[in-house]
Amino acid sequence: MGKVLTIDTEYANYPQVASAYLLEEEGHGVVVETNTTYAIPRILKVMETEGIKPENLDYVIVTHVHLDHAGGAWALLEACPNAILLAHPKTAKHLIDPSLLIKSATSVYGKENFDSLYGEIKPIPKDRVRVMEDGEWLSWKGHSFQFIYTKGHANHHFCIYDQKTNGIYTGDSFGISYPHLENGKRFIFPTTTPTDFDSIEAIHSLERILDTGAEVAYLTHFGPIGNLKENAGDLKEGLILCQEAISNLETIPKEERLPFMESKVKAMIQTLADKNSITLTESDWKLLRLDVNLNAQGLVYAFEKKQPKV
């Protein structure tokens, strides 16, 4: 029996914010999520420690194209000459030609922040990419992976169920749970970042994840968690609060929408923390600032894209 290792990629120089996962079997490996270009030396170091040579990394899997999940995929493939990237078709398209991805992310973060967070991004050769369809299975050294499309957070998102370990790699479809905010106790909240958020699809995706019967969800943000049914209930509550907040934007002037929605996102996170008897400190809210802002942006965008064109 091989093992699953959680790798702290120290995204944006913060510990326990984003994770990659390394599966090891018989000296070979699979990496799920890559985080950014800056994380690749960390992943390669863990592979070396585990005795996995770069030429024995067989697959790199990314749940979706957002750069805190897939920005370093090109660099890991460059370092591991036999690895094949497994991706959703819409993700594959943008990793083979990342020009629009870079342009879009730069417009959200600004050039200076983009370079600081993500660094260089290069195209991935088409012959090193394999598209995985919804429901498709892949066998690898005693593991059976099923790829399950999970819209809601993004329309190019899938999760990966591993029958052997009865675990599922959920990307952003099963929310965010930061250990360093929790004082030793878990709580979870949804992520609604731009530009494809859809609350109805997100709730449906929770149901698809639970339907696998998985006992463990391997979150990208951050680490493995259990109690999937209970955590899914909290996520559904948070998603309903987000949907209610979107409906309230009808009466809010355009220039006031983002700060209004930031207040609603903070209230949603506070509600779920209170439900789990978690006290969020001033320092915690400082660490959550980027999530609050990006989640609010995603909710405003979801509202505005449904408005009739004038």
- Per-residue pLDDT tens, the chain, 310 aa: give them: 569 999 999 998 889 999 999 999 999 999 999 999 999 999 999 999 999 999 999 999 999 999 999 999 999 999 999 999 999 999 999 999 999 989 988 887 788 888 999 999 999 999 999 999 999 999 999 999 999 999 999 899 999 999 999 999 999 999 999 988 766 678 999 999 888 899 999 999 999 999 999 999 999 999 999 999 999 999 999 999 999 999 999 899 999 999 999 999 999 999 999 999 999 989 899 989 989 999 999 999 999 988 876 5
Distance CA 174, CA 188 (A): 9
Exposure of 103 by Cβ count < 10 A (0-12 exposed, 13-18 middle, 19+ buried)?
exposed
- Global confidence as pTM: 0.95
pLDDT at 184: 63
Question: Which pLDDT value is given to residue 175?
Answer: 97
How far is Cα 305 from Cα 109, in angstroms, rounded to an integer? Answer: 20
Rounded to 5°, the CA angle 101-104-105 comes to 85
* Structure token digits, residue 281: 């400190």
Q: Distance (Å, rounded) from C-alpha 69 to C-alpha 112?
A: 20
Cα–Cα distance for residue pair 75/165, rounded to 1 Å: 28
Distances (CA, A) of 225 to 99, 141, 173, 230, 231: 35, 25, 13, 11, 9
